[in-house]
Chains A and B, each alone.
Chain A
Amino acid sequence: MRSITLVLSDGTKFHGKSFGYEKPVAGEVVFNTAMMGYPESLTDPSYAGQLMTLTFPLVGNYGIPPFTVEEKGIATFMESDRIHASAIIVSDYSEKYSHWNAKENLADWLKREEVPGICGVDTRQLTKVLREHGVMMGKIIFDDEPANIPEAEYEGINYVAKVSCKEVIHYNRGAGKKVVLVDCGVKNNILRCLLDRGVELIRVPWNYDFNNMDFDGLFLANGPGDPDTCVETVKNIQKFLANPKVRPCMGICMGNQLLSKAAGASIYKLKYGHRSHNQPVRMVGSNQCFITSQNHGYAVDSTTLPSDWESLFVNMNDGSNEGVKHKKNPWFSAQFHPEACSGPLDTEFLFDKFVELL
């Protein structure tokens, strides 16, 4: 295995070995404290442009499932059709795997999709550096090619445009209620969760003006990067909210931020984001608490919500916003991922709520 160095923008260096595709790469270095779910995380479009650090040290144990595609055109086991993270950084990579549903090891997959993977890094220490400093840009450089230095930017780049579908896609045509889903980088399990509940789904690109379409409800999906780059999406949502014909709307993650922005709230970047399976949230005004899966670097500033909106969920660790709702209309969203995949399934009932409202 070739030796590499991970160089953070503050100059901190970590040494490791390459086990994935061998090319230098740069991106925003983020950490994820989930203890499993690397195939799901890697294919989650929200990781676009990021070097994903896993704090759980043992990775690769159960291999990679086959990349089969269901009849509706959705990958059976993955969250999109390819790896979106720019690289994966782990401590102890397990080349040998064991699982009945595995087809190959992580290294082979990374190589095929040309994504670097590095191991032998003290990912706890790396996480502590990121925690203290906040997320940073970083580069993975091969020690035997020190001159080959990649460059990248993260902030201000419209990653949503990069990962969104390019044209309208229909699922379950004629099945029942019609839901428009704005694809800012949607995870497959959001599609599965909606389709399993018997709705017809119209998946539209991030900047598509759906307002003239015939539909019963609006779904705002997750996506990568800075919500401020999605100006057109926000405009389209504002039109929807202003429509005298009130229809239900639900948002997830980026969807929560876009819905809030459309309502008039502002967004800020978290020091190091929430990326894990163990984020506790509480439903505001109740004693109900949920463990949620999260992956976001930006958050809604709930103090800026207009008076007809309120917080729906709050993060029990740091008090940040975890969802909003309109006081009268059936519009709500969650900053976390009720579709999980990967992560806990405690809040999947939100999909039921949405579908009931249609």
Chain B
Amino acid sequence: MKDNIQKVLLLGSGALKIGEAGEFDYSGSQALKALKEEGIETILINPNIATVQTSEGVADKIYFLPVTPFFVEKVIQKEKPQGIMLAFGGQTALNCGVELYRSGILEKYNLEVLGTPVQAIMDTEDRELFVEKLDEINVHTIKSYACENIETARKAAKKLGYPVIIRAAYALGGLGSGFCDNEEELNKIAEKAFSFSPQVLVEKSLKGWKEIEYEVVRDNYDNCITVCNMENFDPLGIHTGESVVIAPSQTLTNAEYHKLRALSIKIVRHIGIVGECNVQYAFDPYSEDYRVIEVNARLSRSSALASKATGYPLAFVAAKLGLGYGLFELKNSVTKTTSAFFEPALDYVVCKIPRWDLGKFHGVDRELGSSMKSVGEVMAIGRTFEEAIQKGIRMVGLGLHGFVGNKELKIADIEGSLSAPTDKRILVIEKAFFDGMSVDRIHELTKIDKWFLYKLEHIFKINKDLKACRTINNLDNELLKTAKIYGFTDFQIARALGMEADVDMEKAVLVVRERRKQAGIVPYVKQIDTLAAEYPAQTNYLYLSYSAVAHDVQFENDHRSVVVLGSGAYRIGSSVEFDWCGVQALNTIRRNGYRSVMINYNPETVSTDYDMCDRLYFDELTFERVMDILDLENPYGVVVSTGGQIPQNLAMRMDQQNIPILGTQAKYIDNAEDREKFSAMLGRIGVDQPEWSALTTLEDIRKFIDKVGFPVLVRPSYVLSGAAMNVCSNDEELERFLKLAANVSKKHPVVVSKFLLHAKEVEMDAVAKDGEIFAYAISEHVEFAGVHSGDATIQFPPQKLYVETVRRIKRISRQIAHELHISGPFNIQFLAKENDIKVIECNLRASRSFPFVSKVLKINLIELATRVMLGLPVEKLNKNLFDLDYVGVKASQFSFNRLQNADPVLGVDMVSTGEVGCIGEDSRTALLKSMLSVGLRIPKNSVLLSTGNGLQKADMLTASQLLAQRGYTIYATKGTNQYLTENGIKNTRVYWPTEEGTPQVIDLLREKKIDMVVNIPHDLSSREITNGYRVRRTAIDLNIPLLTNARLASSFIHAFATVDIDDLDIKSWDEY
């Protein structure tokens, strides 16, 4: 080990975004753990306040600051570390590191890069250097031309012959890339790519080839291993982040596997990686021909997946190697006896499936391609491929029961849908089998390897056999067992047997369950031990399978297990914050002498790191699987309040099976979840709420609106994707919206509620014990109500609430806590207008703001809540909100740049993919740090204002004046121009695309003459292709900062116009 290193700076990856998500919390946490073990002082820069790595005790000093050269240099100046680690914070950290190196900052502060040297990073990041480098050792790459302008791009494409793929250099997971079949498409895509990067690559497309990846580790002594290889279910052409991925590869022969493995090692040695890296190949399905697609000289999404798939802690080992260790000096962390220099042997197969939330976005392109759109992923483990993929399909959490047994999907053109895949692709394959299409034909259309299709066909056939039984009495044990081995749930079996017709499905499922338990058909618990049982391992990393005859572990039956249900796939609305909550619960359980047990299946999380708990079940969170595990664990209790909505939804059914639920009891959870019951309760205790009604006909809706008036919030009660909620301001909008949602609202009533304009939204996060509040945090939205609380900018402590408002909120919260006998965490959302307070929502679980308020308050609310749930003594919190002499601001990260054609506008439905939380001495500094952390830039010269309706224009007046005073050139569209001019603010009129005249807005944007766009949509509902949409979308596509909310835009402008960025306080968390 290097002995000159006592203090190390580690760069995090910032907010979760498409292409860069929770995997880097996991990687960074592991690296910090590895450093800590060596007694090294660790400094972490990461504004993502909801992560585990930014929790107390993980790093010695934590800076909630943007991961940009400017801020990183300030921290270096202050902390004077000897080493810096760039490989654990995704592309954000890597790019920042390269910039620090290029600008000489690393040299200036004599900072050693630990791990892969920056030159090697640049050799892999710059395509031209990369190709040259691999040419030196005769390794084939994809023939590619680096172009600095569109003309050379056209020439290159002509030379290569269409189809070609365009990529932007130095970009996150395929950002700004795409396939072009002709010059017209090239023009479009290349322009976008150039907006992200000065260099664009034109390459021959190898659509249809297999995509294979290897995770390689190399130490300072040139020892190399490949920890895992992975095969994409989808052929090349679909981004690996968008593809189902299988590990280990299933269709490669020994010769192919080892040829690519040996090549990976050769490449990694030649480039000079120290630590971990990922090599991606395109592999010809008809020969052993290959191309290296890319090398990622850092921990990646794939490496996180490989770690979970094998049990080999890649990030932990990579950090140690960065300190100069040899692989042979480290131990296998699973067996603890064998060496870390080995390659895991798996005796199971894992299947990763992406989770998309495209339904949340208006206008988005649903076709899968070379850039990533998924927001999360799941990993399923099985001992048959069928078991793994069926588990995985369920885990994704979109209401699917597996490959078969789902509600019928209506697809007009199956062949077309197969050849132009969307997020529904796996379902389309099932539909194709249903229509009698052959494996050969499906293969022709999809280029998915036939082996995968045969396996899917096998599932389809078993389902057919089950259906042929017609009743459970005809089902023999052999078929029942076969179905279970190949991943069928009791639900799928019950459905195939047609039991739905006679009994409620919840009952049918229990009938099947009882029947198979009687026949001794139960799943067994298997270990992931890295060596396929060759050596004994005390590993607690577990999964369940029916392809088994014995358990690998013994159950104590001592009633000391506490099972925490995890939060599943990251999705819009539920992500790393619940991982943090889960981990805090596990820590508390463990510290208090209970056995901590986690059930979760998200490979991007820290809660699925096997050393975070005493037993990890990497398995489904379905009722069936949770009950399987609880049958074996016979726990002291189950925690359902730290994993978001999935565990909450299981509470009632578990309660009916007499499972001890810790904390707030299931019936009260139901009382809060059920709108009618909750509303009745509020009425009973005299708490106000926006008027609402559940209605079934348009006529009733009209009557209701006549009473309360527009605008109204309309939500069909049966919502699959979440897209069906909307605000309607007039009759026309209402009718249009209901038409769109009609097919979901026929059976289920539509809930219409009065929508309050210009109301403040306030959140109460609290912990109660036996109905009495023990700790709370009240925070305030910057935006007015109408922006989903997950998208809103939140300040804590509140800065602009009346004392009376706070008092009322506290009183109401106490009443609700008492009424619902809350024991544990809960969250209430309020609307406040003047001092009029209404309750909009109440969740008897931790909310997404728990890590934020916990960290700003410096009180771990989940620890407190877990102690309450365990029945341990707790003390009431004495800290007063007004004691804090600093402010925390939580801002949202949007990933619109990834989502082609999606309208980048905020509304009642959540669309952000991540968040940051920064602390400052006042709200302006905290806001500025947060906004810069989510990728906004302070404009240099010019701002475009297009500020919506009259009220919104007025909201923006002071900010506009400030801009003018600070010498910004203001461009304004028609109405705004008039308004500003009337108010004596100098501005230049610009023209909408539909208007005659120059300058045209879009031209100015393209010419990079506008540094920031403020575009406030006129009303909340209209989604058609409007001028506004075109401007917003162009800004996103050209990577120009965009603000669409008047309140937030004003606050941001106010902050950067009155605070000098050089004066921002650079303080670590503990210094506040």
Contacts and interface: CB of A to CB of B under 8 A. Distances in A.
Interface in B235-260: 248-255, 257-258
B451 A98 contact: yes
Interface string A21-40: 00000000001011111011
Interface stretch (A140-148, A167-175, A275-283): A275-283
A251 interface: no
A111 interface: no
Interface string B996-1008: 0000000000000
Nearest to A34: B345
Contacts of B265: 346
A33 B257 contact: no
Contact of A99 (B253, B326, B339): B253
A152 B739 CA distance: 76
Contacts of B531: 33, 278
B547 A57 contact: yes
Interface in A181-221: none
Contacts of B342: 278-280, 291, 316-317
A38 B367 CA distance: 39
Given A91-B383, A316-B328, A98 B347 contact: no
Interface in B329-359: 337-339, 341-349
A58 interface: yes
Interface string B615-633: 0000000000000000000
Given A96-B454, A131-B533, A58 B384 contact: yes
A96 B257 CA distance: 20
Contacts of B339: 280, 316-317
Contacts of B249: 36
Contacts of A343: 254, 258
Chain A interface residue bracket vs B: 35 or more
Contacts of A62: 251-253, 451
Given A61-B251, A127-B534, A280-B342, A288 B550 contact: no
Contacts of B286: 100
Contacts of B349: 57-58
Q: Output the residue of A31, A92, A277, A341 with the most chain B CB within 10 A.
A: A92
Contacts of A291: 225, 341-343
A61 B338 contact: no
Contacts of A342: 254, 258
A272 B342 CA distance: 19
Nearest to B346: A35
B207 to A, nearest CB: 18
A37 B254 contact: yes
Q: Is the interface of A mostly helix, strand, loop or mixed?
A: loop
Q: Which one of B223, B250, B254, B327 has the highest number of Cβ atoms from chain A below 10 Å of its Cβ?
A: B254
A291 B255 CA distance: 16
A101 interface: yes
Given A55-B533, A57-B383, A289-B328, A278 B345 contact: yes
Contacts of A124: 347, 383, 526, 532-533, 548, 552
Contact of A98 (B251, B341, B549): B251
B345 A276 contact: yes
B253 A101 contact: yes
A40 B347 contact: no
A345 interface: yes
Interface residues of B, number: 56
B423 interface: no
A277 B221 CA distance: 22
Contact of A128 (B254, B255, B383, B533): B533
B138 interface: no
A345 B383 CA distance: 28
Contacts of A101: 253
A7 to B, nearest CB: 15
B111 to A, nearest CB: 27
Given A37-B254, A57-B347, A346-B265, A14 B549 contact: yes
B261 interface: yes
B285 interface: yes
Nearest to B454: A96
B44 to A, nearest CB: 32
A123 interface: yes
Contacts of A9: none
Nearest to A281: B341
Contacts of B347: 33, 55-57, 123-124, 127
B591 to A, nearest CB: 33
Contacts of A341: 254-255
A65 B285 CA distance: 15
A330 interface: no
B450 interface: yes
Contacts of A36: 248-249, 252-254, 257
Contacts of B550: 122, 125, 128
Given A57-B547, A98-B454, A122-B548, A289 B533 contact: no
A94 interface: yes
Most buried by B among A36, A99, A101, A131: A36
Closest 6 CB pairs of A and B: A37-B254, A98-B451, A342-B254, A33-B532, A33-B345, A96-B454
7 contacts: A91-B547, A94-B455, A98-B454, A287-B221, A289-B221, A289-B327, A289-B341
